[in-house]
Structure 1
Amino acid sequence: MNFDYSPKVEQLRERLLAFFDAHIYPNEKRYHQEIDANRRAGNAWIPTTVIEELKPKARAAGLWNLFLPRSPRAPQGLSNLEYAPLAEIMGRVYWASEVFNCSAPDTGNMETIERYGTEAHKDRWLEPLLRGEIRSAFLMTEPDVASSDATNIQCRIERDGDEYVINGTKWWSSGAGDPRCALYIVMGKTNPDAGRHEQQSMVLVPANTPGVTVKRHLSVFGYDDAPHGHMEIELKNVRVPADSILLGEGRGFEIAQGRLGPGRIHHCMRSIGAAERALELMCQRAIARTAFGKTIAQQSVTQERIAEARCGIEQARLLTLRAAYMMDTVGNKVAKADIAMIKIVAPNMALQVIDWAIQVHGGMGVCDDTPLAYMWAGQRTLRFADGPDEVHRNALAKLELARHMKLPASAVDMPITRGG
């Protein structure tokens, strides 16, 4: 394995770093001021002007749709290994990915439509998503069941002539708060009597379909994450054409396996960037502040934490690059152990580094004068999103045991989870 950046990636990386210096970091304060102003005016769910102004600049800089590999509709898309260092940079500022049309859940939904949709699906939904004209949401997690096991899903998708009728309630539907959210990808059961992994299907549902009700937004440690949001959505006798189904009935679990692998690794890439930013802020603060006669940077406990943070970041980065390499070369299914490992390691590592950075900042670290508090909330959420730690550890342990019991790895199910 060779993780050196290719000349192409190095050039993109330098261009992206320059873009951050010129446009992202200088606008961090403005972004929050704009959302706060909208919130005070009574409606936080308005797309931010600053991001919309930066999108054309990102396109002009050739930093657009970098995440989508092997798509003729997005020829600029990179492999997972190529994309990793760029996603890491984007993760340094939590809202930056949208500027480059590389933000979740749109990335996962675009990849799903590209891999599993018909040409008609791609013309109607993928093209405007790639242009950044609309947003989307992924409706899988449910409030009334343990969604760490996706076979528990109760939402029903039933055939009625030339239509499917959908009934159920979903929550943690990230991105559904945005008024530009035009499409839901909904996972539900088409045949409860089929095999455990053949009961589920996925359908494309326009967000304005009659019977769709956004009931409320769910806060994350007190943050509303506007204008993106995480919504609870009721689907009551929602009707869509039968050709809205992806791949066919009973293929939902298979699609979820393909969708969540890239989603998980993108989260981990960004987690490493968040940890790097936290360590940078930690060092700057430690050098600038004095306590008990010497700088905080001279305190041995601070030095130990800085060293441990650097070790943890480098370890997580190498593990993530290995997972990206495996996904590119042998596919997501064979790389499932690597994906599970990074999903366990990266958010926990980032949480620890951010926590140490908060400690160095003292009271300043828990308010919004720095990005650390919000970063901590986001990383803590990732220990649930796309599967809780416990489920990934369980799957990883089974894969390890299978090696020693001479069982085929295919005998071990990987979790198809989103948390909740």
Structure 2
Amino acid sequence: MAVDLAPDPVVADLTKRTAAFVRDVVVPVEERHGGVVPNDDVRVELQRAAKQAGVFAPHVSRELGGHGLDMCGRAAVFEEAGYSLLGPLALNIAAPDEGNAHLLEAIATPEQRRGYLAPLASGEIRSCFAMTEPAPGAGSDPSALSTRATRVQGGWRIDGRKWFITGAEGAAFAICMARTSGEPGSPGGATMFLIDADNPGMKIVRHIDTLDESLYGGHVELLFEECVVPDEAVLGSVDEGFRYAQVRLGPARMTHCMRWLGIARRAAGIAVDRAVTRQAFGSRLAELGMIQQMIADNEIDIAASRALILRACWELDQGNSANQSTAIAKTFCAEAIWRVVDRSLQICGSLGISGDILLSRYLREVRPFRIYDGPSETHRWAIARRTVRHHEQPRSGDGLRSAAH
């Protein structure tokens, strides 16, 4: 069977236009502000420019004003957007809004689509996804969920504490995961709720000081205390929240990989520029064997990451769970992208750790990705469990095990 790696012409054109937009419009803004968006006016202006360039919202349906790309189509476009830390925000494909839009398109009611999805897709509002909790609550193990939703007249009362809720400052609403049955440790019993930011029962406790700073709206600790919502606030069905989370998490892990791969390419390009111009020990850095090895290893990590992303995206587009392929891709990419940025900084020497270029900012931004969306260790544990389970399956009549993990 032939394997066709040529991109769809429509996707190829959008990818090319996205690359030009990011380099010409977004990168100067990024460099001016050190990779961090200082206020919402900058976000709004970048998104207005993306709309004018025809590259805004590649992930949402055409009905909602987007380009309706599937996962494989998103891979190249998101990578080009990620060439700048501010590119995803400009295209409205930054976390957590991009993942929330994907989830809402999949399971929201018509009323919820009008009230939450449509303004989110247009960039009119932002959102957050409130699942992670301080220990011993939900983190790498979602079943530890302890935030509780209790039935009250006409709706639900939510009580609990969340933290590392990305983008919560200034978000118009939160998708909150709360336990509606069972106890912490139970495999089911979670429900998703749409909670408006002006609900008096949802309060910002603090902004968490973190290594990274580019994700807009920060990482926030939230308190839900007698937070009452109507029945219409339930997203999907009661007690099905963990199942719906899988709708969001697999694709969101891949789009994270796509965006950070763009930064890896940016870092590698900065390093090569330095290597071909910097003279040391009687030659250019690019002519020294150790530097050549680092440049080559960067190219290998970038190419391997892109291939793993595409494989996982193809499985997702086929309607498969892709649990194994997304875990493999996420683990490899998170570590490979770190290696690329780290090597690039090393090649640039003292310039790399200075504030004169953005490599030190990139290093701080990509390091947490080995923890966000599941630490590498958790993914390796899950990969190994699936592999062992697959190995132990009975052999089929032709002596071969099923290829499905």
TM-score (norm 2): 0.92
Q: Residue 126 of structure 1 aligns to which amino acid in structure 2?
A: L
> Does residue 1:47 correspond to 2:40, yes or no?
yes
Q: Residue 388 of structure 1 aligns to which amino acid in structure 2?
A: P
Q: 1:159 to 1:108 in 2, by over 3 A?
A: same
Matches of 2:386 and 2:242, distance apart in 1:
19
2:149 paired residue among 140, 154, 157: 157
Question: Gaps (5+ residues) in structure 1?
Answer: 36-43, 409-413, 415-420
Give how far 1:143 is off.
Answer: 1.1
Give how far 1:56 is off.
Answer: 2.1
Give how far 1:61 is off.
Answer: 2.3
Name the structure 1 match of 2:401.
none
Name the structure 1 match of 2:355.
368
Please give the per-residue CA displacement for 1:278-335, whole angstroms capped at 9, x wherever unaligned. Answer: 110110111121222222212211001111111111111111111111110133x1x1
Matches within 5 A, 1:115-264: 115-145=106-136, 147-177=139-169, 179=170, 181-192=171-182, 196-221=186-211, 223-225=212-214, 227-264=216-253
Matches of 1:251 and 1:71, distance apart in 2:
28
Q: 1:212 to 1:192 in 2, by over 3 A?
A: same
Matches of 2:368 and 2:207, distance apart in 1:
16
Please give the per-residue CA displacement for 1:202-225, whole angstroms capped at 9, x wherever unaligned. Answer: 10000110122111111222x544
Matches of 1:162 and 1:47, distance apart in 2:
36
> Does residue 1:288 correspond to 2:277, yes or no?
yes
> Does residue 1:315 correspond to 2:304, yes or no?
yes
Matches of 1:75 and 1:101, distance apart in 2:
10
Name the structure 1 match of 2:4.
2
Give how far 1:15 is off.
Answer: 1.1
Q: Secondary structure at the match of 1:94?
A: coil
Please give the per-residue CA displacement for 1:68-105, whole angstroms capped at 9, x wherever unaligned. Answer: 3x674345210000110010111111111111111110
Name the structure 2 match of 1:274.
263
Matches of 1:240 and 1:375, distance apart in 2:
40
Matches within 5 A, 1:290-369: 290-331=279-320, 333=321, 335-369=322-356
Matches of 1:248 and 1:407, distance apart in 2:
36
Q: Secondary structure at the match of 1:256?
A: helix
Q: Residue 78 of structure 2 aligns to which amino acid in structure 1?
A: A
Q: Residue 23 of structure 2 aligns to which amino acid in structure 1?
A: D
Name the structure 1 match of 2:399.
none
Contact between 2:64 and 2:122, CA under 8 Å: does it hold in 1?
no
Give how far 1:144 is off.
Answer: 2.2
Matches of 2:216 and 2:388, distance apart in 1:
44
Q: Residue 178 of structure 2 aligns to which amino acid in structure 1?
A: G
Matches of 2:135 and 2:36, distance apart in 1:
36
Q: Residue 100 of structure 1 aligns to which amino acid in structure 2?
A: L
2:365 paired residue among 378, 392, 395: 378
Q: 1:71 to 1:16 in 2, by over 3 A?
A: closer
Q: Residue 249 of structure 2 aligns to which amino acid in structure 1?
A: L
Matches of 1:407 and 1:248, distance apart in 2:
36
Contact between 2:35 and 2:214, CA under 8 Å: does it hold in 1?
no
Name the structure 1 match of 2:71.
80
Q: 1:231 to 1:191 in 2, by over 3 A?
A: same
Question: Gaps (5+ residues) in structure 2?
Answer: 396-404
Matches of 1:235 and 1:330, distance apart in 2:
35
Q: Residue 300 of structure 1 aligns to which amino acid in structure 2?
A: G
Matches of 1:323 and 1:33, distance apart in 2:
29
TM-score (norm 1): 0.89
Q: 1:218 to 1:84 in 2, by over 3 A?
A: same
> Does residue 1:11 correspond to 2:13, yes or no?
yes
Q: Residue 58 of structure 2 aligns to which amino acid in structure 1?
A: L
- Greater alpha carbon shift after TM alignment, 392-401 vs 346-355: 392-401
Give how far 1:236 is off.
Answer: 0.8
Matches of 1:28 and 1:88, distance apart in 2:
16
Give how far 1:24 is off.
Answer: 1.6
Please give the per-residue CA displacement for 1:155-196, whole angstroms capped at 9, x wherever unaligned. Answer: 11111121211111111110112x2x1010001111125993
Q: Residue 61 of structure 1 aligns to which amino acid in structure 2?
A: A
Q: Secondary structure at the match of 1:157?
A: strand
Please give the per-residue CA displacement for 1:334-390, whole angstroms capped at 9, x wherever unaligned. Answer: x11110111101111010010011111222222332221222222211111111111
Q: Residue 390 of structure 1 aligns to which amino acid in structure 2?
A: E
Matches of 1:274 and 1:171, distance apart in 2:
26
> Does residue 1:60 correspond to 2:60, yes or no?
no
Q: Secondary structure at the match of 1:214?
A: strand
Q: 1:85 to 1:342 in 2, by over 3 A?
A: same
Please give the per-residue CA displacement for 1:94-130, whole angstroms capped at 9, x wherever unaligned. Answer: 1111111111100111111111111111111111111
Matches of 1:175 and 1:94, distance apart in 2:
15
Name the structure 2 match of 1:418.
none
Contact between 1:172 and 1:230, CA under 8 Å: does it hold in 2?
yes
Give how far 1:54 is off.
Answer: 2.6
Q: 1:79 to 1:378 in 2, by over 3 A?
A: same
Matches of 1:131 and 1:259, distance apart in 2:
19
Contact between 1:137 and 1:185, CA under 8 Å: does it hold in 2?
yes
Query: How many percent identity over aligned positions?
Result: 32
Give aligned pairs, total. 393
